[in-house]
Amino acid sequence: MNQGWIYRERVKDADAGQTILEYYSNKYRHSSQQEWQIRIKSGQILLNERSVDAATILKAKDRLAYHRSPWNEPAVPLEFTVLYKDRDLLVINKPAGLPVMPGGGFIEHTLLYQLKIHYPQEPPVPIHRLGRGTSGLLLLARSPIARSHLARQMRDSTIKQNNSQINKVYRVLVSGNSIEEDLTITQPIGKIPHPVLGYIYGATTQGKPAKSQCKVIERYRNCTLLEVKIYTGRPHQIRIHLAAAGYPLLGDPLYVAGGSFAQINGDRQQIPVPGDCGYFLHAYRLALVHPRTLQKMNLLCPTPHAWKTVGEQT
């Protein structure tokens, strides 16, 4: 069991005028209005550091704090393999199932928390994120110069979309085997309404530009192994892009053909969410410029052995 967590936030101008109960019930629909009411009444939710009634009206810039009681986090693989390390950089092979950052019910069962255990004096800082269900290469900074230089490389690569410094290539298993040998996807990605979560990221013409380049590596009977090079870093970009193209990731519980989310049936506690696992996505290759030596680096993390068996048996 973890130590609990305090979720802090400030009320935005657009949310002023609501009751505190309306605010939490509308914004965080993973819990029912009755559940939020119980939390407010029991003093788990404070407004400007004080307990309040559920009917209290919120004002802009009010400070809210939800004191969540300790809970048992779902079991996840906590061990990771170090692939490269020096005084500036750490590159690891993140296992599928391990969240990088806190969220979605995970606090201590996250890579960030494990890094604090392994490197208590100066924990490395992730330069980018991988989804919980994604495995493979993850780049972290161990020094101030690395943090600023690598962040700039990531930003420049996304803005210029030419991957002049940082180059990220993934391997992925998708449903179906009729996808083109080479496919470039430029579907914009942005927030789309979700009846329970409020919103998720998906394919939408109102989204931000995104670009992925796909190449067939091997075709199986009912799925295909692809190599995907991304030129932008939109949330869940590969999952959304391939779903939008009609080839959702094999085993993806959330994104379906068209780039939207799976139909919701039954209990709201069981709905697919972005952090769910089951899909096959692996950060396979990473190229970057070392922040101190300015030498180019090329790192490779082979696809999990089990993937070939999955492909042949699907």
Structure confidence at residue 268 (pLDDT): 62
Which residues of the chain fall below pLDDT 50?
none
CATH number of 81-313: 3.30.2350.10
- Output the CA torsion 172→176→178→181 (10° steps): 0
pLDDT for res 266? 65
CATH code given to domain 5-68: 3.10.290.10
Is residue 98 within 8 Å of residue 106, measured between CB atoms?
no
pLDDT of 292: 96
The answer for residues whose C-beta is within 8 angstroms of residue 206's C-beta and 6 or more apart is 188, 190
The pLDDT value given to residue 177: 92
Torsions phi, psi for 47 (to 5 deg): -115, 115
Q: What is the pLDDT of residue 187?
A: 97
pLDDT for 265 equals: 75
| Three-state SS annotation for the chain | CCCCEEEEEECCHHHCCCEHHHHHHHHCCCCCHHHHHHHHHCCCEEECCEECCCCCECCCCCEEEEEECCCCCCCCCCCCEEEEECCCEEEEEECCCCCCCCECCECCCCHHHHHHHHCCCCCCEECCCCCCCCEEEEEEECCHHHHHHHHHHHHHHHHHCCCCCCEEEEEEEEECCCCCCEEEECCCEEEEEECCCEEEEEECCCCECCCEEEEEEEECCCEEEEEEEECCCCCCHHHHHHHHCCCCECCCCCEECCCEECCCCCCHHHCCCCCCCCCCEEEEEEEEECCCCCCEEEEECCCCCHHHHHHHHC
The confidence score (pLDDT) of residue 263 equals 84
On the question of a common fold for 5-68 and 81-313, the answer reads: no
| Domain residue limits, the chain | 5-68, 81-313
